[in-house]
Chains A and B, each alone.
Chain A
Amino acid sequence: MSEIDLATVPVRTLNELLHRLPADSNDLLWRVINPRGAHAVAAGLTVPVQIEIDGHVGYYCAGMNERATVIVHGHAGTGLAENIMSGVVRVTGNASQSAAASGRGGLVVIEGDASARCGISMKGVDIVVGGSIGHMSAFMGQAGNLVVCGDAGADLGDSLYEAEIFVAGAVTSLGADCVEKDMTDAHRARVAALLARAGIAADAAGFRRYGSARKLYHFHVDHADAY
C-alpha cells in the first residue's frame, strides 16, 4: 500500500502519480492522509485502484472517475465525483452541492446527507444517499438511479428526462414535470440491489418512485404557436 501525506505532498503530485499508473498496475491500494479540504483530490483516475482518503476533502474529489474506487472517510465539498464515468466513489460523511453532477456511469454512495443539486444532469450514474438530499436534486436528470433513504428538498427532479428517483422519506416538493409513479416489484428489486451494492441497510419496500411525466421534453403540437 502506498501512503501519501497531503500535508507534505501537493495534490498535483498525488494526482500525477495516480494518472501515471499503468492499467495493469500492482499498486492497487493507496491511502491519502491530511486532505484538509483540498480540491480535486484523486480526480481523473482511469485505472482500477482503490484510494482511501482519511479526512474531509474540498471540491471535485474523484471527478471524472473511471474504474477506480475512491473512499472518503469524512465529508466532501462541492462537485463530488462530478462527471463520473465508472467505478465507485463513497463518502462516509456528507457531500456538499452538485454531488455526482453529470455522472455517466458508476456508483456514488453518500452515507450521510447530500445538499442541493445532488445528481444534477445525471446521465447514467447510480447514486445512493443514506441520509437526505437538498433542493433541485436530479435537475434535468437523463438516465441512472437516485436512491435516497431520507428526505428530498424542494423541486425534486425538475425538468427530468429519464433518470429515476426513489425516496424513502418525505419530498418537500416535486419540480416541473416530475411525478410520482407506480413502484413495481421490478423497481423494488432494483432499489434492493443498489442498496446492497452501496452497503446501506434500508428496506426497499419503503421507497416511492418519481420520474418524468414526459410533457416538457416532447414537442406538443398544441404548443406550436409558442415557437
Chain B
Amino acid sequence: MCGIVGLFFKQDRPGQQLGRLLAGMLAEMSERGPDSTGFAVYGDGAPDGAAKASLYSADPNIDWTEVEIALGAAFPLAAPTRVLGSHAVFVLRAGETALRDWLAVNLPSVRVFGFGARIEVFKDVGLPASVTQRYGLDARHGSHALGHTRMATESAVTTEHSHPFSTGVDLCLVHNGSLSNHNRLRRNLAREGVRFATDNDSEVAAGYLSHRMRQGASLREALEAGLTDLDGFYTFAVGTRDGFAILRDAIACKPAVLGETDDWVAMATEYRAIATLPGAERAVIWEPRPATVYHWQRH
C-alpha cells in the first residue's frame, strides 16, 4: 500500500492554497498509509546564497536554541529559525555536504530531511489529519508540493523511515512499492560514499538517484537508469526545485493517476485524492504509462 499525492500550480495566482489542498489530498489517502505521513513544500526561496535546511532530532528534549547557536557559529544564519515539534527549519549559508559533514561530527542525532533554496520537508508517525496539523501544512504556500502516507511493509515505523527522502539539493523522493535489491544496492552505494540513516528500501532509491545526479546525470537520466538498476515494484514521485517527476516500473502494478487543468497538475495513487481539488470534475484524467518518465516544471 502507501499513498502518494502531488500538486503543482502551473502559474502563481492569488488565493492559491497549496498546503490546504495537499492536506486534503493526504487525508483522502489515510487508509492507504495510516502509519506515517510526510510532505515536501516548495515555497518562498531562501535569500541569495542561502539554503533552507529541514532538520529533525529524534531526541524529544533537544534544545533547538542551542543547536541554532552552534550551527550559527559554523555557518552564517540568513533568516530566523522556525521550530515545529521535532523539526526545525534553519536558513543558513552552507553547502549541503558541508552541513551534513558538520552535523555528523557535532550533532550526530540531528538528521537533514530536506535541503535547498525552496524545499521544506516534514514527516512523522501518525495519520495525515494529525501530522499535517502538527506541522501546519494548511497555512503553507508555494508552487508545488508532494506528500506520502505510509503503510510499512519492509522496515520499522519511525519518523526517519517515513517519506519524503531527500535526494539532493531541492530534491526529494516519495515511493509506493517495495524494492527487492536494496540491500546490495545500499552496500554498493555506501562504498561510493552515499550515507544512509535507515534500513528503508525507499531511502536506497533516493540515495541511488542522488548518486547518479552527482555523477552528472539529469533527473530524467537518473530515473531511466533506475529502470535497470532498481529491482522491484514502484511508483516514484520526485520533487524538484521547479516541478516534479513521476516514474512507474515496467510491471506497473503500483497504481498512479494524473490529473491536469489549466491551473494545476496533480498526481495521486488514487483518483479520490484528486477529486478533492477545485475543478477536478473538469480535469483531464489519465494513468501514467509504465517505464515512462513524466516531468513537469515551470519555464
Query: Smallest CB-CB separation from B288: which chain A residue?
Result: A115
Q: For B287, what are the chain A residues with a Cβ–Cβ distance below 8 Å?
A: 94, 96-97, 115
The reply to whether the CB of B278 lies closer than 8 angstroms to some CB of chain A is no
Give the contact-size bracket for chain B: 10 to 19
- The interface size of chain A toward B, counting residues with CB under 8 Å, comes to 18
Interface-forming stretch among B155-163, B175-183, B237-245, B251-259?
Answer: B251-259
Query: Smallest CB-CB separation from B248: which chain A residue?
Result: A116
Contact call A116/B270, Cβ cutoff below 8 A: no
Q: Mark B208-245, 1 if CB is under 8 A from A, else 0.
A: 00000000000000000000000000000000000000
Query: Smallest CB-CB separation from A55: which chain B residue?
Result: B281
Contact call A37/B255, Cβ cutoff below 8 A: no
The reply to whether the CB of A58 lies closer than 8 angstroms to some CB of chain B is yes
Q: For A116, what are the chain B residues with a Cβ–Cβ distance below 8 Å?
A: 252-253, 290
The smallest beta-carbon distance between B276 and chain A, in angstroms, is 8
Contact call B253/A37, Cβ cutoff below 8 A: no
**Which of the residues B253, B276, B285, B290 comes within 8 Å of A56, measured between beta carbons?**
B285
Q: How far is the CA of A46 from the CA of B52 in the complex (A)?
A: 58
A-B pair count, CB < 8 Å, reads: 47
Q: For A115, what are the chain B residues with a Cβ–Cβ distance below 8 Å?
A: 252, 287
Q: How far is the CA of A59 from the CA of B255 in the complex (A)?
A: 11
Q: For A142, what are the chain B residues with a Cβ–Cβ distance below 8 Å?
A: none
The reply to whether the CB of B271 lies closer than 8 angstroms to some CB of chain A is yes
Query: Smallest CB-CB separation from B275: which chain A residue?
Result: A36
Contact call B253/A36, Cβ cutoff below 8 A: no
The smallest beta-carbon distance between B60 and chain A, in angstroms, is 38
The smallest beta-carbon distance between B56 and chain A, in angstroms, is 33
Q: Mark A66-84, 1 if CB is under 8 A from B, else 0.
A: 0000000001011000000
Beyond A75-B285, A78-B255, A96-B257, whether A37 also contacts B271 by CB under 8 A is yes
The reply to whether the CB of A209 lies closer than 8 angstroms to some CB of chain B is no
Contact call B272/A37, Cβ cutoff below 8 A: yes
**Which of the residues B252, B273, B286 comes within 8 Å of A94, measured between beta carbons?**
B286
List residues of chain B with CB under 8 Å of any chain A CB.
Answer: 252-253, 255, 257, 270-276, 281, 285-287, 289-290
- Beyond A58-B272, A134-B290, 16 additional contacts (C-beta under 8 Å) are A36-B271, A36-B276, A37-B273, A37-B274, A58-B271, A75-B285, A77-B255, A77-B257, A93-B285, A94-B286, A94-B287, A97-B253, A97-B287, A116-B253, A134-B252, A134-B289
Of all A-B residue pairs in the complex, the 7 with the closest CB atoms, nearest first, are A37-B272, A37-B271, A36-B275, A37-B275, A115-B287, A56-B271, A75-B285
Q: 30 pairs across A/B with beta carbons < 8 Å?
A: A37-B270, A37-B271, A37-B272, A37-B274, A37-B275, A38-B272, A55-B281, A56-B275, A56-B285, A59-B270, A75-B271, A75-B285, A77-B255, A77-B270, A77-B271, A93-B285, A94-B285, A94-B287, A96-B255, A96-B257, A97-B252, A97-B253, A97-B255, A115-B252, A115-B287, A116-B252, A116-B290, A134-B252, A134-B290, A135-B252
